[in-house]
Amino acid sequence: MANYPEPDIRPARPADAPVLAGLMNAAGEGLPAWLWSRMAEPGEDAMAFGSRRVAGEDSGFSYRNAHVAEINGTVAGMLLGYRLDDPYDPGDLEELPAVIRPLIELEALAPGSWYVNAIATLPEVRGRGIGSRLMGLAERLCLDSGAEDLSLIVARANTGAVRLYERLGFCTVATRPLVSFPGCEHSGDWVLMTRTLRH
């Protein structure tokens, strides 16, 4: 078995924004880039806008909500997460793009949980245990926040991810139909999964 270097895990910094945006987009099945393309200035590249948004401090996608795993000083993976409000007010769903509504509806079913918004590693370092290390960090951050439940949303068609989360002790709580968007590779449902952590 290969002997890989242990990754260093640290809070993300604004300078990490470009690689964070790419990893967030990969974890989000391409949905972040589609949303960023709708929010960008005329002529602005979607990923450039995403990087700018990640480097800011006023959105869920902010670097402030992220941790990165580094190997030899290079970002190889990231975890984006935060505690959801309790109670969770989804607001006026009709004002949101249709593709977002099912996700917000599912988030609202896990109020007060620590939400794993995105977790991803670069393709060339997969299989080295980095994702497991980052999920371990999510558990610690969850408990440190005072929450007892982890939550996440995954496409049911992403069977590998669903199996992984089931092995980690996550259970399906609810589903909502996935609304397709340009570049979407999946159909079917979004799945809300949660895991209760014992102190």
The predicted model scores a pTM of 0.92
Long-range CB contacts for residues 172-176, cutoff 8 Å, separation at least 24: 173/109, 173/110, 174/106, 174/109, 175/106, 176/102, 176/103, 176/105, 176/106
Q: Specify the pLDDT at position 26.
A: 92
pLDDT tens track for 131-190: 889 999 999 999 999 999 999 999 999 898 899 899 999 999 999 999 998 888 878 999
Q: Who wins on pLDDT, 6 or 84?
A: 84
In which residue are the tokens 């979407």 written? 184
How many degrees, rounded to 5, is the angle at CA 66 between CA 89 and CA 28?
70
Determine contact, residues 49/41, Cβ cutoff 8 Å.
Answer: yes
- Tell me what the mean pLDDT of segment 114-141 comes to: 92
Question: What is the average pLDDT score of the chain?
Answer: 92
Poorest-pLDDT segment among 14-18, 175-179, 195-199:
195-199
The beta strands (E) that lie in 84-188 are given as 114-121, 149-155, 171-177
Which band of pLDDT confidence, cut at 50, 70 and 90, is reported for residue 128?
Answer: confident
The secondary structure of 24-75 as a DSSP string is HHHHTTTHHHHHHHHHSPTT--HHHHHHHHHHSSSSTTSGGGEEEEEETTEE
CATH number of 8-196: 3.40.630.30
- How do strand 74-83 and strand 66-71 relate by DSSP bridges? antiparallel
- Does residue 1 surpass a pLDDT of 80? no
- Tell me what the mean pLDDT of segment 68-97 comes to: 93
pLDDT tens track for 22-53: 999 999 989 999 999 999 999 999 999 999 99
Q: How far is CA 108 from CA 25, 43, 147, in A?
A: 22, 35, 15
Q: Specify the pLDDT at position 145.
A: 96
Q: Specify the pLDDT at position 127.
A: 82
Q: Is 13 helix (H, G, I), strand (E, B) or coil?
A: coil
Q: Specify the pLDDT at position 3.
A: 65
Q: Specify the pLDDT at position 2.
A: 58
Other CB atoms within a 10 A radius of the CB of residue 144 amount to 10
- List residues bridging with 174 in a β-sheet: 192
Q: Which of 159, 160, 166, 158 is nearest to 193 (CA)?
A: 166
